[in-house]
Amino acid sequence: MNSEDFSGLVVVSTFRSMADAQIAKGVLQDVGIESMLRADNAGGMYPALGGTELLVRTEDFRKARESLSLTP
């Protein structure tokens, strides 16, 4: 996802670890949904600070939740 695509993003889910978030990002990529990860963890130095958010475009939100088998 390019930097100009950052507007209109919504959080699909928040994961405790970056690894879990990367797996979910891969699932979305496999079904054709672009996504990005956002984490406030001091550049990876403090991974337990707050989790990692998985973001998608608003129009992909429902399909992303279904693809990850998350409840609406």
CA 18, CA 61: separation in Å to the nearest integer?
20
Summarize pLDDT for 10-36 with one digit per residue, the tens: 999 999 888 899 999 999 999 999 999
Given CATH 3.30.70, say whether it is the number of domain 3-67: yes
CA 53, CA 4: separation in Å to the nearest integer?
19
Question: What's the token pair of residue 27?
Answer: 């699932």
Positive or negative, the CA dihedral 68, 50, 55, 29 is negative
CA angle 1, 28, 17 (to 5 degrees): 90
**Domain residue ranges of the chain, discontinuous segments joined by +:** 3-67
Tell me the CA distances in angstroms from 36 to 3, 10, one per residue in order.
10, 10
Which pTM was predicted? 0.79
Q: What is the mean pLDDT of the chain?
A: 84
